[in-house]
């Protein structure tokens, strides 16, 4: 007789939370086919369908909603018990899941994440980058990285270094054909790379100087949602771009990009690593937090 295990129950909860087999499979580190087969086997053993599936959507059936409501607290308790046992480990091991936006991930990768892996080879780090702000507890992450003013108030935060700055840049070839903008409203006369936020809205470039603020709804030939793509367009001379400074710092230093409106982009809140206040953190989580505090104290991130 088939008996569901904890992985099967985690799978049901993940699909219910994400509303998608594909997204849940990514969270669980398995293929969509394997996940679908596991759920099919579980449904066959229970004799009921837990999910209503169409080509476009997945939703819980009535039986599925009842099932999730009843197993959810129990599964959470089981994971809590497992965490309590793992907290007794002396050698860090297992998997740490970290959620960060792409720029932050690039900022912490070498000085923190890779250094941690060198020190603790038995730990696997799953670093997920996305622009949207997620509930790291509900989404199954151990840690998150965001700018300080976006960290939820109920989280423990570790400052990771210096404040962040934006930078408006264009290629030398671009400025051979166009005047240099002196104040933010001048951007309305320049082609700019538009930025689409994770929620679908277009980002207004934000500036501040001597207590004055400005939000410019720029126009341009292309809209992108990823800094790496925008950088390519700006390097190619298509228009001006608005970036986190660290994403284009090397290009500015090398002369591949020219910075403008520098006095209108003051430092803003810096990056923070944050995590929930768990009673029984694993040895891996404790070690990662300890290294983050040590490195941040030395000022080597950012």
Provide the token pair at 302.
């950012």
Q: What is the arithmetic mean of pLDDT over 60-85?
A: 85
Domain 166-266 has CATH 3.30.1360.120: no
Task: State the average pLDDT over residues 73-78.
Answer: 85
Greater pLDDT, 6 or 170: 170
User: Band of the pLDDT at 281, cuts 50, 70, 90?
Assistant: confident
pLDDT (average), residues 175-185: 96
Q: Does residue 300 carry a pLDDT above 70? A: no
Flag whether pLDDT at 180 surpasses 80: yes
In this chain, the answer to whether the domains covering 6-86 and 94-164+269-298 adopt an identical fold is: no
114-132 pLDDT, tens digit each: 999 999 999 999 999 888 8
Q: What is the arithmetic mean of pLDDT over 243-259? A: 94
Q: Give the list of residues 6+ apart from residue 37 with CB closer than 8 angstroms, or none.
A: none
Q: What is the mean pLDDT of residues 211-217?
A: 93
- DSSP code of residue 221: S
Q: What percent of the chain has pLDDT over 90?
A: 49
| CB proximity list for 103: less than 8 A, separation 6 or greater | 227, 244, 246, 247
Residue 226 pLDDT more than 60?
yes
Checking DSSP bridges between strand 193-195 and strand 222-224, what pairing results, if any? Answer: parallel
- pLDDT at residue 57 in the model: 82
pLDDT at 99 over 90: yes
Give residue limits of the domains in the chain. 6-86, 94-164+269-298, 166-266
Calculate the alpha carbon distances from 248 to 170, 207, 226, 251, 299 in Å: 11, 18, 13, 5, 20
The CATH class of the 6-86 domain is mainly alpha
| Whether the predicted pLDDT of 139 surpasses 90 | no
Q: What is the per-residue pLDDT for 162?
A: 72
pTM recorded for the entire structure: 0.62
Q: Which listed CATH number (3.40.50.12280, 3.30.365.10, 3.40.190.10, 3.40.50.1100) goes with 94-164+269-298?
A: 3.40.190.10
For 143, the enclosing helix (H) or strand (E) is strand 143-147
Check residue 172 and give its pLDDT: 97
DSSP, collapsed to helix, strand or coil, labels residue 9 as: helix
């Amino acid at each position: 007789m088939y008996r569901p295990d904890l992985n099967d129950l985690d799978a049901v909860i993940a699909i219910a939370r994400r509303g998608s087999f594909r997204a849940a499979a990514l969270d669980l580190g398995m293929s969509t086919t394997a996940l679908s087969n596991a759920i099919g086997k579980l449904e066959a053993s229970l004799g009921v369908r837990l999910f209503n599936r169409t080509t476009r959507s997945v939703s819980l059936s009535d039986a599925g909603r009842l099932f999730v409501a009843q197993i959810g607290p129990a599964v959470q308790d089981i994971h809590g018990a497992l965490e309590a046992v793992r907290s007794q480990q002396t050698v860090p091991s297992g998997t740490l899941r970290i959620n960060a936006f792409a720029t932050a991930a690039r900022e912490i990768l070498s000085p923190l994440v890779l250094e941690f892996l060198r020190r603790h080879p038995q730990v696997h780090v799953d670093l997920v980058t996305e622009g949207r702000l997620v509930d790291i507890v509900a989404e199954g992450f151990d840690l998150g990285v965001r700018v300080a003013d976006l960290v939820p108030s109920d989280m423990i935060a570790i400052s990771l270094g210096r404040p962040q700055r934006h930078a408006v840049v264009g290629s030398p070839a671009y400025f051979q054909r166009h005047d240099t903008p002196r104040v933010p409203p001048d951007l309305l006369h320049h082609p700019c790379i538009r930025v689409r936020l994770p929620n679908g809205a277009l980002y207004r470039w934000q500036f501040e100087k001597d207590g004055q603020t400005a939000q410019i709804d720029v126009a341009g030939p292309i809209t992108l949602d990823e800094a790496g793509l925008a950088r390519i367009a700006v390097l190619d001379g298509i228009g001006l771009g608005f970036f986190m400074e660290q994403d284009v710092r090397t290009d500015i230093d090398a002369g591949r990009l020219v910075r403008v409106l520098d006095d209108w982009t003051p430092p803003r809140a810096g990056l923070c690593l944050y995590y929930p206040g768990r009673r029984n953190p694993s040895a891996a989580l404790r070690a990662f937090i300890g290294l983050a505090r040590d490195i941040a104290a030395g000022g080597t991130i950012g």
